[in-house]
Amino acid sequence: MIKWSVLILRRFFVSLRKDWSSFLLALFLALVVWVIAIQQQDPLITQHLADTVSIQYVDLPPGLVILGTPPENLELSIRGPRSVVGGLTGSSFSAKVELAGLQPGIHDLSVQVLKSPSVDIVSQKPERVTIHLERLVHKTMPVEVVMADQPPAGYSVYPERATIKPMTVTVSGPESQVKQVTKVVAQLYVSNAKQTFSRKTLVDAWDANNQTVFDVTSEPRLVNVMVPVEQKPGYLDLPVVVQTRGKPAAGYWLQNVSVEPAVVTLKGSPAALKSLPGYVETAILDLTGADKNIVERLALVLPRNVSVVNSKSVKVEVKILPIEGGKTIERVPQVQGLNEGLALRTPLNPITIVLSGPLPKLSKLGAAEVSVVVDFSNITAPGVYTIKPVVVVPQGVTVQSVVPTEVNVEVISLLPTVTPSPTAAATLPITGTVTITPTLTVTPTSP
């Protein structure tokens, strides 16, 4: 058996050696046919990814830092089977730049893209990046307080007397950038400061031209600053009181009086300021007969030797509102939408309506200005119905209650009743079993 098998294999190889070229051609053609079949079933396509791939900078040597901001993302175009490429996004790939073993300086490095073996990279942007590496240095510096604006008139802010916690911060970053830092400042906005304040403030690193130095960080990032604020001699803040005269019109009341600014800064001799009663009055505002809101600018009444630091007048707003009241009215409902051929058996009874609103408006409101409607447009046949009346009142008046809330009405027909004739009745088909009971009529006779 073994000899027979060896003989068969020997004959196969002898024949293969004689026609080797034909065998290779057949194998090649078979491979081509297989590739074409695969291509037709799952063709290769090229696609540009809609989203980008994040670039990671890995293995940065200790003691070094990247200066500036290198590219963070790259764009990819890929090629592969449609069944694979169609489901890929930017998150399906990863990209990295290897920094291991580099020294301070400028380096031109390739961006390596990690991909699936079933797809090829057609193009990527960028293919290479320029990285500037510098030594990471640290420097401890004191914090200075700088005012970003000016305090209110009549007040002084003393940044040189500020209390700062902590008093120093550590600035870190690329060596060339840290060398540019000449001071670390906490900027304060004091335009509304009228008393000593304490707040947490971000610190900035400045160069010799008072410009922010980027690519550096400070630790801590926030410091607590307490700055003294004092009012200058000869200045005084006092609230404003609006002087009024008269009363609003009958039926109206004074709800509120507001003034802007509510507090003003006065300037004068200490003796003159001390003689003031603790407030500043406006010129008199006459409210006699007022029936609407009032907005006016009023001058301040001041002694001769006292002045206002800013405007000499204030904006006064007076809110005048009508007094709310109530009123009761009786009205007979109006019939609306009753179909032709229908009528009400009895007239509708009066309805009581309780109204509320501004007293001046209610006092002039007549019964004719209030209407009550009962709508019958949905009723098409006689019968007894319960309908909710609709009350219509002028604008600004509110309906508080309606008594009764619903009305019961009987609708009747005005058309004559048609009685069917015996002939007509005889022609009607009769189905089923009909039982006829004879009627016996007895007529009494005289004895």
Q: What is the CATH number of the domain that holds 178?
A: 2.170.120.40
* Residue 272 included in any domain: yes
Picking from 231, 255, 274, the residue at the C-terminal end of a domain is: 231
Inter-CA distances, 291 with 206, 243, 251, 361, 387, Å: 61, 19, 9, 12, 41
For residues 175 and 216, give the distance between their C-alpha atoms in angstroms, rounded to a whole number: 10
Q: For residue 347, what is the DSSP state?
A: P
| Helix, strand or coil, per DSSP, at residue 405 | coil
For residues 354 and 397, give the distance between their C-alpha atoms in angstroms, rounded to a whole number: 10
Q: For residue 38, what pLDDT is reported?
A: 53
Domain count along the chain: 5
Q: Do 359 and 313 belong to one domain?
A: no
Residue 307 corresponds to which tokens in the numbers above? Answer: 């002045």
Q: Do 392 and 378 belong to one domain?
A: yes
Cα Rg of the chain (Å, integer): 50
Beta carbons within 8 Å of 399's beta carbon, 6+ residues apart: 353, 354, 355, 391, 393
Q: Do 140 and 158 belong to one domain?
A: yes
* Residue 420 included in any domain: no
Q: For residue 444, what pLDDT is reported?
A: 39
Q: Do 184 and 227 belong to one domain?
A: yes
> ∠ CA(428), CA(434), CA(436), 5° rounding?
110
Residue 186 corresponds to which tokens in the numbers above? Answer: 């906490």
CA proximity to 241, closest of 218, 264, 220, 219 = 264
| Ranges assigned E (strand) in 332-389 | 334-336, 342-344, 351-358, 371-375, 383-387
* Residue 443 included in any domain: no
* Residue 422 included in any domain: no
Domain encompassing residue 23: 2-38
Q: Do 181 and 225 belong to one domain?
A: yes
Q: Do 305 and 388 belong to one domain?
A: no
HSE-up of 101 (CA within 13 Å, CB side)? 2
Q: What is the pLDDT along the chain (447 residues), one digit of tens a residue?
A: 555 555 655 665 566 565 656 555 555 555 655 555 555 567 888 999 989 999 999 999 999 999 989 999 999 999 999 888 888 888 889 999 999 999 999 999 999 999 888 899 999 999 999 999 999 999 999 999 999 999 998 899 999 999 999 999 999 999 999 999 999 999 999 998 989 999 999 999 999 999 999 899 999 999 999 999 999 999 999 999 999 999 999 889 999 999 999 999 999 988 888 888 989 999 999 999 999 999 999 999 998 889 998 888 999 999 999 988 898 999 999 999 988 888 988 888 999 999 998 888 888 888 889 999 999 988 889 988 899 999 999 998 999 988 888 888 889 988 776 555 554 444 444 444 333 344 333 333 333
Q: For residue 270, what pLDDT is reported?
A: 86
Inter-CA distances, 156 with 51, 229, 267, 347, Å: 56, 6, 15, 84
Cα dihedral 299, 303, 305, 306 in deg (nearest 10): -50
* Residue 445 included in any domain: no
Strand partners, 169: 141
* Residue 84 included in any domain: yes
Inter-CA distances, 398 with 344, 358, 366, 395, Å: 30, 10, 15, 8
Residue linked to tokens 């010129």? 283
Q: Do 212 and 245 belong to one domain?
A: no
Q: For residue 207, what is the DSSP state?
A: -
* Residue 122 included in any domain: yes
* Residue 446 included in any domain: no
For residues 66 and 58, give the distance between their C-alpha atoms in angstroms, rounded to a whole number: 11
Q: Do 157 and 141 belong to one domain?
A: yes
Q: Do 310 and 330 belong to one domain?
A: no
Q: Do 176 and 187 belong to one domain?
A: yes
> ∠ CA(18), CA(16), CA(36), 5° rounding?
115
The pTM assigned to this predicted structure is: 0.55
Q: Domain holding 336: CATH number?
A: 2.170.120.30
Q: Do 184 and 150 belong to one domain?
A: yes
Q: For residue 24, what pLDDT is reported?
A: 58
Q: Do 118 and 170 belong to one domain?
A: no
